[in-house]
Chains A and B, each alone.
Chain A
Amino acid sequence: MIQLNIFSFSLIFSLLFTISITNAIEIPEKFQKSNHTNNWAVLVDTSRFWFNYRHVANVLSIYRSVKRLGIPDSQIILMISDDMACNPRNPRPATIFNNAHEQINVYGDDVEVDYRGYEVSVENFVRLLTGRVPPDTPRSKRLLTDEGSNILIYLTGHGGDGFLKFQDSEEITSQELADALEQMWQKRRYNEIFFIIDTCQASSMYEKFYSPNILATASSLVGEDSLSHHVDSAIGVYIIDRYTYYVLEFLENVHPNSKKTMSEFLAVCPKSACLSTVGVRRDLFKRDPSKVPITDFFGSVRPVIITTDPIDIQEIPKRRKSQSINKTKVPEKREYLPQFPMHLVQTNNY
């Protein structure tokens, strides 16, 4: 109930001050705190083919960071379009590095990829976000978020003004993405979203957003290209993109208890380093990014309730014993079968 009050309160606030929310009006400290209850991450690499190695390295860099900062694998949806780690062209199998000096193996030893290869398509991505997956979809391929979820969405791939290519064969437009997020909002599938996109003309992807509580950042503005960082001559391809390289460098210094804020994250790659302007959209986001801890999106909440009074644990209803025990089971003799259609052979041979 209290939560609901705060919620409606903040909604009224946001309605009143959406336009001049930036710095003109101080938002009370109380509302600067997030009231999310769980954290999720959707990390998508949309490019196939070996020469797009850097996009896989990008997405795995973020995966490594969110996992290190505490989001469990069950709450990370990782989509990778192609297999770079075990690609025959990779001279160091089962590894993907973030730079040519092989400092960080972003693939790690316990990576869990939820959607891979041909499964990474626009349809699957939109279905995942909106929750309209086929009935037999396993848990690891569902985004089981609720109205208390803070979601980190990271996309990387090849894009243009208003679209992002998936696997070189289809694309998602910025309008489709905005509509999917709106559907999520209407279905109460999130509390807040932090949207990061690393692609050419990236900021065009978030310009159409119209749902509340989304903070978005992009590696480049419309009309700019996002550039890669450096080549690894051992594998012959660009190894990581500039924006994500500096993001990973920044995130490596973040710890689950650190006090770094989102505004520090948003300023992570200045134009001198990125060679493109990092775009930020904060008009949909109610809170002041300089007061939002980075762990609100990159870490995971572990709600701890401290109580001094004894808690009365109600009696758990006992499971019904399966009825098969009551039945007297007649043991049935079993046997191993011949592993060959002998009945068809013997008539002919013997």
Chain B
Amino acid sequence: MFKSGIFNIFLTLLIQIKGDDFKEEIFIKPLPPSHLYVDFHFITLVNGEESFEHSYLAPRSLGEIMSRYQVDELHLTLTEGQWKHNQWGYPVLDAAPGAELYAWFNTDVIDVDIQWKKLSSTLSGLFCASLNFIETFNTITPKMSLWPTGAQKPKQNYTSQLRYASLPREIVCTENLTPWKKLLPCESTHGFSSLLNSRMIHNTNYHSIGVHVRRMCVDNNCLETNLEIKQTVALVYDFKIINSMDWSFRKLFGQGLPGACPLSSSSKIYVDTTSNSTYRFKLTPEPNLILLSQRGGSETELAVYNINNSIMMNIVAKYETKSKLFVNIPPPLSFTRYVLGYGKEFGGIVTELTNNYWAPIDVVLLENAPWWLPIQLSSLRVNGEAESKLILSQYYSPGRSRQKPYHLELLLHLPPKSTTTLTIDFEFVFLKWQEYPPDANHGFYIGSALISANLPTAKNYTSLPITGNTFDSIVNASKPWYPMVFRTNGAMVSLPTPDFSMPYNVICLACTVVALAFGPLNNICTKELVLKAPGTSISLRQKILNMFKKKKD
């Protein structure tokens, strides 16, 4: 114990000399009346711009990928479940169901597509995910909706270095969490990551693991940058699954918190107690600090726990009033998406954007349809009209069969207190026999649409400001705009799927019919029917002839 303590101190010293910095944070927000949002953030800051020949706290396996493929910024999320924006408000970082990967490559990279393919294949090995299914036919280059969150050299063309792909069918399970945990300096032995017990975190309504790498300014001058590697886990617990509204670490994670990771410079737990005024609950033990934050017209109260020892602790929240009617106040911007149509020929995708705020909101909507679901710009209707003043700018890139997806981006100006309905038609395409997946009758997934919004208010907004990397940065961080990239729900269509056993059935049936028909036909054609009175004797010549006939047969 003593030895390991000294070792830890030594390690911490060594790391502080090198300047690598590791922080861990948990953000807990009750989503009344029935859910609880838990968000883990593990932030590693790497000093300088050197390559990853040596690394201290940062995962070398990831760092090598970044430097080898010259990636400036990387975002990877693996998500199971759908975040319900209307009910739960906004998450810190939104993620599309399934796997989602986007990256900005360095401007020195000439052939981005080749690097992109290599990057996705390599990451598929690192995270045990099928990211190697990312090909040119499901990759797009968003023009307006995604912007690098890291510090960038000015006046460069970032857009052409960006690639985006999502795999809505991707499953997320323990095998993805295991390699993810191995990237952390304490792995899953110490600190907050030891709470990530796969049996508990997969027992949630929504879980999303992510890795986000970007460059951060060291100071306001921004002549030097650090590499920030942020690993996140977002969980939404259902009170029905944990059987009560009162929650505790033991109930959520199956164990108490064994203290901070010895390598971290700060380990903090933030509990959003804003809902305490309506849904009164009591936290034990008492928080170290209560933070009040005013940001963009909304007030947030945060209870902060500073963890700096390795004593087992268990944070418990006990609700005082159990039954209360709950009024759900929708967030400023909400949206839904669904598929229209019947039959196997045509269909349509509808995206409804609702602005609940009293001021207009500008959004960029990105529709990304696979090649087997062609969407035509000519069929785009905004509130039923082909021409609309709401569209400020648009970009459309038609797909090509088996090569390129359909990509539509619209910059929309949503009027206050209104719902805008966008409809676009698609037609179904016949796939080749080999292109159908083994479970073709299950249906085909369409990825989420991206909605990049410039929110004028911070209501329900929990994301960090772009300059911050820890949760303290949201305190009083009022800005003119609160940008956020949302993902709508995905959709599913059933393509015209052939009966795969049909060829076999046809062969069997046809053979039977042919066999049945051939026998009598052959008999009729080859045999001569001779009428013979019974009892007539056969001549000797006839007898000999009959013998020959039999032999021939």
Q: A139-B125, A332-B223 are in contact. Are A111 and B144 (CB under 8 A)?
A: no
Whether the pair A344, B198 counts as a contact (CB closer than 8 A) is no
Surface stretch bound by A, among B17-25, B145-153, B258-266 = B145-153
With beta carbons under 8 angstroms apart, the residue of A112, A137, A345 that contacts B362 is A345
Contact B125 A83 (CB under 8 A): no
Residues of A within 8 A of B125 (CB): 114, 137-141
A141 and B453 alpha carbons, distance in the complex (Å): 39
Q: Tell me, yes or no, whether B221 is within 8 Å of chain A by CB.
A: yes
CB neighbours of B151 from chain A (8 A): 334-336
Decide: B411 and A345 in contact? CB cutoff 8 A.
yes
Bound Cα distance A336, B469 (Å): 13
Q: Are the CB atoms of B483 and A333 closer together than 8 Å? A: no
**Complex alpha-carbon distance, A134 and B170, angstroms:** 21
With A118-B133, A138-B122, A345-B362 known as contacts, the answer to whether A339 contacts B483 (CB < 8 A) is yes
Binds A, one of B172-180, B334-342, B491-499, B504-512: B172-180
- Contact residue among B149, B225, B411 (Cβ-Cβ distance under 8 Å from A341): B411
Please determine whether B173 and A86 come into contact, CB atoms closer than 8 angstroms: yes
Residue B437 interfacial (CB < 8 Å): yes
- B223 close to A331 (CB less than 8 A): yes
Contact B174 A344 (CB under 8 A): no
Say yes or no: is A93 at the interface (Cβ < 8 Å to chain B). yes
**Which A49-102 residues have C-beta < 8 A from chain B?**
49, 83, 85-86, 92-95
> Is A322 among interface residues, defined by CB-CB distance under 8 A?
yes
In the complex, the chain B residue whose C-beta lies closest to that of A330 is B223
Counting CB contacts under 8 A, is A252 at the interface?
Answer: no
What string of 1s and 0s marks CB contacts (under 8 Å) between A99-110 and chain B? Answer: 000000001111
**A249 at the A/B interface (Cβ < 8 Å)?**
no
Q: How far is the CA of A215 from the CA of B398 in the complex (A)?
A: 55
A33 to B144, CA, bound (A): 66
Could you say which residues of chain A place their CB within 8 Å of the CB of B485?
A: 339
Q: Is A338 at the interface (CB under 8 A from chain B)?
A: yes
Let me know if A322 and B51 touch, CB within 8 A. yes
Chain A residues bordering chain B, tally (CB within 8 A): 49
Q: Are A331 and B117 in contact (CB-based, < 8 A)?
A: no
B130 at the A/B interface (Cβ < 8 Å)? yes
**Chain B residue with the shortest CB-CB distance to A87:** B171
Interface residue? B12 (CB, 8 A): no
Query: Beyond A116-B128, A167-B438, A344-B393, is A349–B147 a contact (Cβ under 8 Å)?
Result: no
B215 to chain A, nearest CB (A): 7
Contact (Cβ within 8 A) A111 B225: no
Residue in contact with A136 in the complex, picked from B122, B148, B201, CB distance below 8 Å: B122
Q: Are A138 and B124 in contact (CB under 8 A)?
A: yes
Q: In the complex, what distance in Å separates the CA atom of A49 from the CA atom of B438?
A: 10
Residues of B within 8 A of A349 (CB): 360, 362, 413
Residue from the list B117, B225, B437, B483 in contact with A340, Cβ < 8 A: B483
In the bound complex, CA of A344 to CA of B364 (Å): 11
Judge whether A337 is part of the interface by a CB distance below 8 angstroms.
Answer: yes
Would you call B199 an interface residue if the criterion is a C-beta within 8 Å of the partner chain's C-beta atoms? Answer: yes
- The residues of A that contact B466 with a CB separation of less than 8 Å are 336, 339
- A-contacting residues, B160-200, CB 8 Å: 169-175, 178-179, 197-199
B-chain residues with CB within 8 Å of residue A344 when the two chains form the complex: 144, 392-393, 411
B118 at the interface (CB under 8 A from A): yes
Q: Mark B349-377, 1 if CB is under 8 A from A, else 0.
A: 00000000000101010000000000000
* Chain B residue with the shortest CB-CB distance to A81: B438
A319 at the binding interface (Cβ < 8 Å): yes
Q: Which of A85, A118, A341, A342 contacts B437 (CB 8 A)?
A: A118
Which among B148, B173, B174, B222 is the interface contact of A337 at CB below 8 angstroms? B148
A13 to B132, CA, bound (A): 46
B483 touches A113 (CB 8 A): no
Let me know if A264 is at the binding interface, CB within 8 A: no
Known: A86-B80, A112-B128, A137-B121. 4 other contacts (CB 8 A): A86-B172, A136-B121, A137-B125, A339-B466
- The 6 lowest CB-CB distance pairs between A and B, nearest first, are A138-B125, A339-B483, A167-B438, A86-B173, A136-B121, A334-B151
A-side residues, CB < 8 A to B, are 48-49, 83, 85-86, 92-95, 107-114, 116-119, 134, 136-141, 167-169, 319, 322, 331-342, 344-345, 348-349
Interface CB pairs A-B, < 8 A, 7: A95-B199, A109-B178, A141-B125, A337-B147, A341-B393, A344-B144, A345-B413
